């Protein structure tokens, strides 16, 4: 066989081998990325709480739900409907903290948007924006789509969005403060959810299991543990002895 064809054959084989190695490397990196995402999206039960500063109800409430979530996290989207229904059913506060997941493309912007709606139009509008983002999360795949979604949400509420949502970075700073609070708490994954109590006879806070399966049970327990003590029955009035 002419030397030219031998060299060409060897070069072709080397190229195929290189492509195979590159494909395998890409597969390994993709698997690592998926595993890293799963670590953030599916929290293990039993978070080691290092600082319980965040785990208490707002002033005047006996029981509340405290959540740390990322708006691009699928597990957070799955939990959102259950948390919303529980807060409405029991009429207890639902304290929502931002805990951004590294590598998520659009959730930092969505969190700023939610805080802008809350700061300018009230907590109910900010919460509704979060709820709708979670409900439509699967169709929001980049920043451009998020921007279109946010514009439609604003228009449906008669709101004009400013050219710059957070020109001084104050909202972003508040989001970072939430993330720092979550780190101090000991959070490793989202969603991280607790039922928290004030002046409880039982535990001051109880973590909700992944999947929210024990959420209602924990709220019932918290309400029972914080119920006001019943007044002691009055002793019967003794009638004076008859003469």
- Tens of pLDDT, residue by residue over 120-174, are 999 999 999 999 999 999 999 999 999 999 999 999 999 999 999 999 999 999 9
pLDDT of 107 over the 80 cut: yes
Residue 164 structure tokens? 């710059």
pLDDT value for 138: 96
Q: For residue range 4-40, what is the model confidence (pLDDT) as tens digits?
A: 333 344 434 444 444 433 343 433 333 333 333 333 3
CA 87 – CA 96 distance, rounded (Å)? 12
pLDDT band at 46 (very low <50, low <70, confident <90, very high): confident
CA 63 – CA 230 distance, rounded (Å)? 19
Domains and their CATH numbers in the chain: 63-225 (3.40.30.10)
Tell me the average pLDDT across 76-85. 98
pLDDT value for 232: 67
- How many percent of the chain have pLDDT more than 90? 73
CA 138 – CA 114 distance, rounded (Å)? 18
**How many beta carbons lie within 10 A of that of residue 143, not counting itself?**
13
Long-range (24+ apart) CB contacts under 8 A made by 197-203 are: 197/57, 197/62, 197/63, 197/222, 197/225, 197/226, 198/56, 198/57, 198/61, 198/62, 198/63, 198/226, 199/62, 199/226, 200/225, 200/226, 201/225, 201/226
pLDDT band at 243 (very low <50, low <70, confident <90, very high): low
**How many beta carbons lie within 10 A of that of residue 109, not counting itself?**
18
Contacts of 44 (CB under 8 A, 6+ apart): 188, 189, 210
Between 116 and 29, whose confidence is greater?
A: 116
Partners of 97 in the beta sheet? Answer: 68
CA-based nearest residue to 102, from 29, 181, 37, 177: 37
Mean pLDDT (the chain, rounded): 84
pLDDT value for 235: 73
Which residue matches tokens 């691009």? 72
Pairing state of beta strands 94-98 and 63-69?
parallel
């Amino acid at each position: 066989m002419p030397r030219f064809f031998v060299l060409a054959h060897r070069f072709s084989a080397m190229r195929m081998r290189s492509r195979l190695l590159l494909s395998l490397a890409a597969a390994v990196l993709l698997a690592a990325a998926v595993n890293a995402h799963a670590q953030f999206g599916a929290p293990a039960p039993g978070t080691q709480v290092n600082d319980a500063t965040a785990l208490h109800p707002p002033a005047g409430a006996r029981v509340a739900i405290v959540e740390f979530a990322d708006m691009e996290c699928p597990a957070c989207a799955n939990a959102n409907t259950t948390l919303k229904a529980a807060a409405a059913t029991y009429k207890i506060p639902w304290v929502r903290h931002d805990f951004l997941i590294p590598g998520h493309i659009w959730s930092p912007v969505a969190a700023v948007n939610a805080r802008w709606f809350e700061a300018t139009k009230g907590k109910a509008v900010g919460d509704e924006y979060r709820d709708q983002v979670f409900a439509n999360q699967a169709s929001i795949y980049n920043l451009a789509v998020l921007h279109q979604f946010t514009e439609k949400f604003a228009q449906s509420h008669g709101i004009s969005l400013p050219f710059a949502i957070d020109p001084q970075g104050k909202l972003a700073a508040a989001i970072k403060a939430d993330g720092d609070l979550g780190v101090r708490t000991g959070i490793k994954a989202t969603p991280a959810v607790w039922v928290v109590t004030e002046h409880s006879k039982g535990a001051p806070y109880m973590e909700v299991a992944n999947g929210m399966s024990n959420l209602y049970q924990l709220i019932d327990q918290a309400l029972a543990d914080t119920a006001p003590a019943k007044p002691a029955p009055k002793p019967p009035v003794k009638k004076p002895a008859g003469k």
